[in-house]
Structure 1
Amino acid sequence: MTKTVRARYTLEFKQEAVRLVHGGQSIAAAARTLGVVEQTLFNWVKADRLGKLTGADSKAVSVEQMEISRLRAELARVKMERDILGKATAYFAKAQS
């Protein structure tokens, strides 16, 4: 029997994750980017809205890890925008024919 260890995240990490969602990313996309479960991120967003978001100091997130998370989120956003623009271009090119 394998015992799973529950991950614990700092308040700063949770706040950054919530900022991604408030910045326009879907919970699913932000969760994939950060490597957390969607339900966990949903709970963090809900707790933040209620003013009850807290963090644990047992899993320190370094500045580099925060920057990597931010860059992953930005990359995901840019890819989404690129895909939307590609589809729009194809649609309008088809309409012109």
Structure 2
Amino acid sequence: MADRSVRYPQELRERAVRLVAESRPDHATEWEAMRSVAQKLGIGSTETVRKWVRKAEVDAGVRPGVTSEESAELRRLRAENRELRRANEILKAAAGFFAAELDRPQRTS
């Protein structure tokens, strides 16, 4: 099974996308252009290059989909939402605890 922990630098990703666009006319299909670029740059899989190209197309507005910026914003908002829900649960528990303390009869000495 392939090692999925490989992270390619952003510059390499951008270069691969640019090379695919430039070499597309020299190949019969876009897939062949992607395969050629993957081999030239030492990228393990043509599918990896295909994903980069599709993502770049979405980010450029050429292809429909969620842009990288929108995706990052969604991740940030979801994390913030999780944190706020957690804080709300803590506050509810604390409010319940203090309400129970107030309802207890007070001892007088």
Question: TM-score, normalising length from structure 1?
Answer: 0.47
Structure of greater relative contact order (alpha carbons < 8 Å, 6+ residues apart): 1
Structure with the higher helix share, 1 or 2: 2
Q: Higher Cα Rg: structure 1 or 2?
A: 2
